[in-house]
Amino acid sequence: MRYYIIAGERSGDLHGGNLVKAIRQRDPQATFKGFGGEYMRQAGVELTVHYDAMAFMGFTQVLMNLNSISKFIKQCTADILDFKPDVVILIDYGGFNRQIASFGKKRGIRIFYYIPPKVWAWGQYRARGLKATVDRMFVILPFEKDFFKKFDWDVDYVGNPVLDAVKAHRQSDGFLSKWSLREDQPIIALLPGSRKQELQRLVPVMAKVARKFPEYTFAVAAVSNLDKALYAPFSDLPNVKYVEEQTYDLLSHARAAIVTSGTATLETALFRVPQIVVYKLSGLNYRVVKWLIKIPFISLVNLIAGKEVVKEMIQGDANVDNLAGELKQLLIDSPRRNEVLKGYDEIIRILDTGSASENAANLMIGYLQSRSKD
């Protein structure tokens, strides 16, 4: 069969690549095309557009790039019509993919959504729009199935692909020496994100925290294709090192971490690294988000647990004193550190339902084969 897959960010690309591999095991003659990144390319997807070209973050950035986004949508829809897929598989990237779903519905193209937009967080009314345009939904968070039931929609919970990726990870030989890290010095992982706007707001405060802990090595999970000037606040700190494209290896060696809100918070938890979650937006973006979002937490860790497991420091709360105070407790064998680790164990128990990629692939192919027999 022919599959058109769309992922607009790195995490979606990773999960898309694993999904493609799982589909190919069931459908060896499968042909893949779409929007994505290197993980999908390596899995055998012919890329029309790399997601790097579409990395627009925040309300103001989207407004500034509406023309570019419109061009990508037109390019994508034309490519789908030309490719004539048996199914279009959407992965996260809600603003873009919801429009593709609407297009597909009007054209009679089968639409599957793997890792849907977080409509449970804000704009819950959008669930009805998704139901009207998506043929099958495959969710990766346990509470999402119950959420969509409120809209009389039976969706498939397939497990969590982040847990799959962490389980599959094997430490790279020579990792520490490659990045000038020492075995005898504890490592604090800094994960400031992969978007320019995130780094501009979070790197300066992370650098100030690193100054307060000279006896520790701070290892920055750096993104190789970003402007190195974004990491400039770290430049004069002898206890700061950089690790590029090996975040899982870094987490497997870290004693604690400071992490930008997003998928990385869950990855850090699954590696059982005590963390502080931080996030900063522009004033306008923050006011918009605060007005729209109606959930008690911003991190997946706390949302899955249904309670505060890790501290979340947002906007002005993400300051040096707050971060340093919590970090001190996470670095030693304290009751606070043990409390976080206990919370992580509960999250792992909740999520461990088998391979999400394989579960999703089996269901998708089953639905497609069932339709072909009708």
The pLDDT value recorded for residue 188 is 99
| Entry pTM | 0.81
| Shared-domain flag, residues 47 and 114 | yes
Q: How far apart are CA 27 and CA 21, in angstroms?
A: 10
| Shared-domain flag, residues 175 and 52 | no
The pLDDT value recorded for residue 295 is 76
The pLDDT value recorded for residue 66 is 57
The pLDDT value recorded for residue 148 is 96
The pLDDT value recorded for residue 60 is 45
The pLDDT value recorded for residue 11 is 83
The pLDDT value recorded for residue 332 is 96
Domain count, the chain: 2
| Shared-domain flag, residues 89 and 185 | no
| Shared-domain flag, residues 327 and 368 | no
The pLDDT value recorded for residue 285 is 57
| Shared-domain flag, residues 137 and 230 | no
| Shared-domain flag, residues 294 and 324 | yes
| Shared-domain flag, residues 175 and 108 | no
Q: Which residues of the chain have pLDDT under 70?
A: 55-67, 282-294, 372-374
The pLDDT value recorded for residue 57 is 47
Residue 171 is classified by DSSP as P
Domain that holds residue 194: 168-351
The pLDDT value recorded for residue 261 is 80
Answer whether 153's CB lies under 8 Å from 136's CB: no
The pLDDT value recorded for residue 226 is 86
Answer whether 298's CB lies under 8 Å from 312's CB: yes
The pLDDT value recorded for residue 70 is 86
Residues in the chain: 374
Q: Is 306 exposed, middle or buried (0-12, 13-18, 19+ CB in 10 A)?
A: middle
The encoded tokens of residue 87 equal 């199914």
